Amino acid sequence: MKNTWSNGKTEAILDKLTNYSRNSYQWFVDTPTRALDKAYLAALNIKSLEANYLASQDREQAVNRPAVINYLEADIDKYLAIIKVNLAEFKVSRYFLKYPQDCWSKIILIEEVLTKYRTDLIQATVIPPVNTIAKPNSKFDRYASITEDLSRVKPVTEKTGVLPRSLGRTFSKIKTELKSDSEADIIENFRRERRVTQMAVRCLVLLIVIPLITQQVSKQFFLFPAVEQYREAHDSAIFINLEMKEEAFKELQNFEAELKFDNLIGIANLTVPEIIEEKLKEKATELASEFRHKGSNAISNVFADFLGLIAFILVAITNRQGIAAIKSFLDHIMYGLSDSAKAFLIILFTDVFVGFHSPHGWEVILEGIANHLGLQPNHSAIFLFIATFPVILDTILKYWIFRYLNRISPSAVATLKNMNE
């Protein structure tokens, strides 16, 4: 009777797993259709907002009601984010999954909405500004002018002329201060740089948070349970590499030595060999379960990290303006530091990654990555990497100092040379 109840419980669990697998497969197959429908619905919602609240007869009333405009801008922000995420999901999934053939009307409408908010929103739905100076704090203006902002932000690494750079900056500053509309230009430049900075920080947060969330969620809720179930069902090997096996054997030997030591000093009464054998058997079973869990965790790390990498690439591809903003933002931070700060950071970077003690750090990092992925560390490959990669990194850094930093900030190079000496 007990066996019958156990068999019935096992069949119920298998039925639930089968239904779950079938539903998960169907959900995966329907990914293109589901993603496109979500993007299409968000585009329709934006159209509805434009028709109901941003019509021409309501613009004058809306100017005097900034709370309404802020509410509408927040809604349009939300719907545009939904469109971008789901459209990227549709574009990726349609390469290896079937998608409906009657979807072109939806795609045309979605692209129409996205194009309008990328290029010419000022003529479409933007409320005219009250002041003569354009108000770039509007979220509509942000979508319309972010490309212009990035193009108008002067690169820090521009080529030098005949005159020294500092003298040119001094003349430009005097010329700007003598202009009649210099205050408006200063305010406009500040607002433009602020918009670029906000976009860079937002994109940087997305590049960090979204891959991490993708990696953790996929691992904890999908990959690890699937790998654990597969290994148990197919009676896979407990140890996935030789290092895990040696670690388990060493721990079992230490446990046996501890039992014998306790028996010799009288802490434990283990005079019967069968008792010691039973305790060793319990410890071996515990170690087998522990290292099977570690192996499943390492295997799931491989797939989860791959999904996190895909998420990172998708965010980078779908947010190219943000990547450009990050580059501009980092350039201004790096080249805006004082000469002493630049020299300090360069020395810190070289000592950590290229210096005398860096091989030990690289060895720890590479062994940690190998253990994370369930691979046995190959010390020959690690030593080869340590012998070549820091040298290449040092060469690249020296070329950057000679090619760019020496041209942009010669005093920083001189400070670096004095600090090294």
Residues ≥6 apart with Cβ < 8 Å to 367: 377, 382
* Distance, CA of 357 to CA of 360 (rounded, Å): 6
- Two tokens, residue 340: 């002493």
The rounded radius of gyration (Å) of the Cα atoms in the chain is 31
Q: What is the pLDDT of residues 4-27, one digit of tens each?
A: 555 566 666 667 767 766 777 777
> What's the half-sphere exposure (Cβ side, CA atoms, 13 Å) at 124?
19
* Distance, CA of 112 to CA of 105 (rounded, Å): 11
Contact at 8 Å (CB) between 323 and 316?
Answer: yes
130-150 exposure pattern, b = at least 16 Cβ within 10 A, e = fewer:
eeeeeebebbbbbbbbbeebb
How far does Cα 49 stand from its chain's mean position? 32
Q: What is the pLDDT of residues 374-403, one digit of tens each?
A: 888 888 888 898 888 888 988 888 888 888
pLDDT at residue number 323: 87
- Two tokens, residue 282: 């319990």
* Distance, CA of 338 to CA of 412 (rounded, Å): 8
71-80 exposure pattern, b = at least 16 Cβ within 10 A, e = fewer:
ebbeebeebb
* Distance, CA of 230 to CA of 162 (rounded, Å): 70
Contact at 8 Å (CB) between 90 and 35?
Answer: yes
Local structure of 396: helix, strand or coil: helix
- Two tokens, residue 97: 């999954």
Q: Which of 325, 35, 16, 360 is nearest to 198 (CA)?
A: 325
* Distance, CA of 40 to CA of 196 (rounded, Å): 29
| End-to-end CA separation in angstroms for the chain | 85
Length, in residues, of the chain: 421
The one-letter amino acid code at 60 reads: E
Angle at CA of residue 343, ends 342 and 348, nearest 5°: 100
Q: Which of 383, 396, 393, 400 is nearest to 354 (CA)?
A: 393
pLDDT at residue number 4: 56
- Two tokens, residue 175: 């010329």
Q: Which residues of the chain have pLDDT under 70?
A: 1-14, 17, 20-21, 53-70, 95-102, 118-183, 268-271, 421
Contact at 8 Å (CB) between 153 and 191?
Answer: no
Domain range annotation of the chain? 1-123, 129-332, 337-421
Q: Which of 279, 309, 98 is nearest to 210 (CA)?
A: 309
Q: Report DSSP state, residue 269.
A: -
By CB atoms closer than 10 A (0-12, 13-18, 19+), residue 198 is middle
* Distance, CA of 76 to CA of 118 (rounded, Å): 13
* Distance, CA of 393 to CA of 418 (rounded, Å): 22
pLDDT at residue number 120: 40
Q: Which of 37, 30, 66, 72 is nearest to 54 (CA)?
A: 72
